[in-house]
Amino acid sequence: MRALQYTSIGRPPEVVEIPTPEPGPGEVLLKVTAAGACHSDEFVMSLPEDQYAYGLPLTLGHEGAGVVAALGEGVTELEVGTAVAVYGPWGCGSCRTCLTGAEQYCEVAAKRGIMPPGLGAPGAMAEYMIVDRSRHLVPIGDLDPVSAVPLTDAGLTPYHAIKPSLPKLVPGSTAVVIGAGGLGHMGIQILKALSSCRVVALDVGEDKLAFAREVGADHALTSDESAVDAVRELTGGRGATAVFDFVGVQATTALAAQMVHFQSDIVIVGVGDGAVSVGFFTTPWETSVRSPYWGTIPELHEVVALAQSGAIHVETETFSLDEAPSAYERMHARTLRGRAVIVP
């Protein structure tokens, strides 16, 4: 089969011919229908050799969707032909954290070498992929796989980031979304679907600001120091109740810290080098800071249900496997609109 692999440090990924895998006991073989490209892939491919820990060659793609093609020995709870999306942050399934569904924080995954597809295990940017356990598959019914596949990360990660802040996002409150890309444009929609807060998006470039408004932001502002005053003004001097930072560099976390009011949440999702220091004299009283990773299995079921209800919709641009390297170039150049999806 054909697959997009990252084969050597610092080189662009390439399409290669590799053997089609066969499912072992407990495993499921998917015929891949769609695979999403995430900024985290670019981050991983930018790492120097001494920090790169995902193995080579690496079949990319931690957002996967497919149709069940074959079942390994002992798998009785699934049927061949079912359309599914893949829950990516695989855990052991039996530690106390996994038992809550939060397999992204599995207590033993690192020790046992359990890694997500596309981030250690062979990923979804291939004609077929192996999923280690059937609990990592969520049926998508008649959702279009291209617009469903980003739900597994670009949908799930903002959902998990936003959900704990919902009790604070009462009518009249304001949430700020920094970075209206793959994750951010879903964050805007999830906030609008689940709360009645006002949503202010921050990004760079008129096209991105227009895009943020199109997907539901009440206001879209250029992401620089001027946004701090603008947010204060929009909120009658109060400030934001929650800031979701899908960039996470020092410039954006600094904006977040300046925009919030008392008892607010700063949620750092982007994997930049940014940080917020919290202290009695440095941040408004009772500011909470979180840095969540991905999401839980039950939450992926919820996100798929939200998409099925029509309340959220992923904007996508599609690429073939051969065109996939250019999807990452477009991501780097910040010219993508929503999520890049590879259809192998």
Chain positions contacting ligand NAD, by CB under 6 A: 38-40, 43, 153, 157, 178-184, 202-204, 208, 223, 246-248, 251-252, 269-271, 293-294, 331, 334
Does the CA dihedral 164-193-148-319 come out positive or negative?
A: negative
Closest separation in Å from C-beta 268 to ligand NAD = 8
Residue 66 phi, psi (nearest 5)? -170, -175
Helix, strand or coil for residue 5? strand
Would you count residue 102 as binding Zn ion (CB under 5 A)?
no
Task: State the Cα–Cα distance between residues 7 and 56, nearest whole angstrom.
Answer: 6
Residue 271 partner contact from ligand NAD, Zn ion, none using kind-dependent CB cut-offs of 5 to 8 Å: ligand NAD
Cβ distance 248 to 270 under 8 Å? yes
Answer for which of 66, 72, 88, 91 binds Zn ion (CB under 5 A) is: 91
Applying CB under 5 A, the site for Zn ion has a residue count of 5
E strand map for the chain: 2-6, 14-17, 28-37, 58-59, 63-71, 83-86, 128-131, 137-139, 174-178, 198-203, 219-222, 240-245, 260-268, 288-290, 316-320, 339-343
Closest separation in Å from C-beta 43 to ligand NAD = 5
Closest separation in Å from C-beta 96 to Zn ion = 8
Closest separation in Å from C-beta 89 to Zn ion = 10
Closest separation in Å from C-beta 37 to ligand NAD = 8
Answer for which of 1, 95, 166, 251 binds Zn ion (CB under 5 A) is: 95
Identify which of 118, 104, 102, 155 has the alpha carbon closest to the alpha carbon of residue 32. Answer: 118
Nearer to Zn ion by Cβ, of 121 and 260: the residue is 121
Task: State the Cα–Cα distance between residues 166 and 156, nearest whole angstrom.
Answer: 15
Nearer to ligand NAD by Cβ, of 70 and 251: the residue is 251
Closest separation in Å from C-beta 336 to ligand NAD = 6
Nearer to ligand NAD by Cβ, of 92 and 204: the residue is 204
Nearer to ligand NAD by Cβ, of 23 and 155: the residue is 155
Residue 180 partner contact from ligand NAD, Zn ion, none using kind-dependent CB cut-offs of 5 to 8 Å: ligand NAD
Closest separation in Å from C-beta 215 to ligand NAD = 12
Answer for which of 4, 68, 84, 106 binds Zn ion (CB under 5 A) is: 106
In sequence order, what are the residues at sequence separation of 6 or more whose Cβ sits closer than 8 angstroms to the Cβ of residue 27? Answer: 72, 75, 130, 131, 132, 133
Nearer to ligand NAD by Cβ, of 33 and 157: the residue is 157
Answer for which of 98, 151, 260, 269 binds Zn ion (CB under 5 A) is: 98
Longest dimension (CA), the chain: 62
Alpha helices in the chain (DSSP H): 39-45, 109-112, 145-148, 156-162, 182-194, 206-214, 226-234, 250-259, 297-308, 324-332
Residue 187 partner contact from ligand NAD, Zn ion, none using kind-dependent CB cut-offs of 5 to 8 Å: none
Closest separation in Å from C-beta 85 to ligand NAD = 15
Token pair 């990660």: residue: 157
Residue 181 partner contact from Zn ion, ligand NAD, none using kind-dependent CB cut-offs of 5 to 8 Å: ligand NAD
Task: State the Cα–Cα distance between residues 185 and 203, nearest whole angstrom.
Answer: 11
Task: State the Cα–Cα distance between residues 122 and 134, nearest whole angstrom.
Answer: 16
Cβ distance 60 to 117 under 8 Å? no
Interacting residues toward Zn ion by CB under 5 A: 91-92, 95, 98, 106
